Amino acid sequence: MKRKTAVVTGGSRGIGRAVAVGFAKAGCNLVINYAGNDEAAKETERLCSAEGAKVVLVKGDVADSTCAERIVEAAVAEFGQIDILVNNAGITRDNILIRIEEEDFDKVIETNLKGTYLMMKACARHMIRKRSGRIINMASVVGIAGNAGQANYSASKAGVIGLTKSFAREVASRSITVNAVAPGFIDTDMTRDMTEQAKENAAKQIPAGRLGSAEEVAAAVLFLASDSAKYITGHVLNVDGGMCM
Ligand code: NAP
């Protein structure tokens, strides 16, 4: 993957940071988007630069189409190409369905689902022109199995899987692969707010008996972005310690 350009949304923390650092170690240059946490984004930049990568940070909301355009413009201006897109930015606004506020429903769908659509649309133009590309979308096992207390989030991730499979069919003939990674419970800021009891209960549902790490998810993303995965498209790869099978 030497000198390839990887765009990673939500790359300031958690899984996105591990993915960015993984690409940097593999020899890629990076465009890293994040929502607002400048300090965390600079730390990701520092970690990637230490691996020899050139890094451009783009702050902005992936649900805003002008942000997707800015990310693509930055990538093309700095590196002249986009080889890999990882749609990782995501949020939760958990509650049982009858208590989910309309605003929280919309926010989760806009960030997780619309953001993925906007970024794929903006990047695909360049990938189609050069007849190659790798797109990896961050789904979740709850997008497959559902989860009480996460109807909005599960719907957004089920939507991401639908987007992935549809777009995979549309661009396969141009040598562009579109796949999803579906993590289970991963130890990041997103799950750190859970009580110890909730984490213990979660671990009981996982055959591997523990939460996963951001690096374990990043390894799956790197595989799908690699040459070894060039005949894999429209696939959802669970990284969940056996939670959903
Ligand atoms: P995280 O630690 O909370 O990090 C979220 C990242 O997304 C941050 O970089 C954040 O930027 C960015 N972000 C949030 N809203 C954004 C927006 N509107 N525009 C651009 N960037 C935005 O989350 P994580 O656990 O690493 O999760 C990463 C992805 O994996 C998400 O799609 C999530 O749904 C999925 N996932 C996570 C788990 C899990 O157990 N952790 C399980 C399944 C799926 P700032 O730092 O600037 O806020």
pLDDT for 167-182, tens place per residue?
999 999 999 999 999 9
153 is catalytic: yes
Q: How far is the CA of 189 from the centre of ligand 1 (A)?
A: 8
Q: Is 80 exceeded by the pLDDT of residue 198? A: no
What's the average model confidence in pLDDT over 218-234? Answer: 98
- Provide the sign of the torsion angle of the four alpha carbons 143, 146, 149, 151, taken in this order: positive
Q: How far is the CA of 90 from the centre of ligand 1 (A)?
A: 4
Q: Is 80 exceeded by the pLDDT of residue 213? A: yes
What integer pLDDT is reported at residue 194 of this predicted model? 78
Q: Grade residue 69 by pLDDT with cuts at 50, 70 and 90.
A: very high
What's the average model confidence in pLDDT over 214-224? Answer: 98
Task: Provide the strand spans (E) within 144-243.
Answer: 176-183, 236-239
Q: Is 90 exceeded by the pLDDT of residue 67? A: yes
- Provide the sign of the torsion angle of the four alpha carbons 87, 85, 215, 208, taken in this order: positive
Q: Is 212 in the pocket of ligand 1 (CB under 6 A)?
A: no
Q: How far is the CA of 14 from the centre of ligand 1 (A)?
A: 7
Task: Provide the strand spans (E) within 35-162.
Answer: 55-59, 84-87, 133-138
Give, for ligand 1, the residue of 21, 34, 237 to mutate: max count of ligand atoms closer than 8 Å to Cβ: 34
Q: Is 200 in the pocket of ligand 1 (CB under 6 A)?
A: no
What integer pLDDT is reported at residue 200 of this predicted model? 80
Tell which residue, 7, 4, 2, has the closest CA to residue 60.
Answer: 7
Considering only CA atoms, which residue is closest to atom 38 of ligand 1? 186
Q: Grade residue 203 by pLDDT with cuts at 50, 70 and 90.
A: confident
Tell which residue, 227, 229, 224, has the closest CA to residue 238.
Answer: 224
% of the chain beyond a pLDDT of 90: 93
Q: Is 89 in the pocket of ligand 1 (CB under 6 A)?
A: yes
Q: How far is the CA of 115 from the centre of ligand 1 (A)?
A: 12
What integer pLDDT is reported at residue 148 of this predicted model? 92
Q: How far is the CA of 188 from the centre of ligand 1 (A)?
A: 9
What's the average model confidence in pLDDT over 29-42? Answer: 98
What's the average model confidence in pLDDT over 46-75? Answer: 98
Nearest ligand 1 atom, CA 112: 32
Which tokens belong to 26? 């593999």
pLDDT for 89-132, tens place per residue?
999 999 999 999 999 999 999 999 999 999 999 999 999 999 99
- Asked whether 181 and 138 are in contact (CB, 8 A), the reply is yes
| Strand, coil or helix: 206 | coil
- Alpha-carbon Rg for the chain, nearest whole angstrom, is 17
**How high is the mean pLDDT of the chain?**
96
What's the average model confidence in pLDDT over 208-223? Answer: 97
What integer pLDDT is reported at residue 35 of this predicted model? 98
Lowest mean pLDDT among 22-36, 186-200, 223-237: 186-200
Which of 34, 117, 153, 231 is the catalytic position? 153
Nearest ligand 1 atom, CA 92: 34
What's the average model confidence in pLDDT over 181-203? Answer: 87
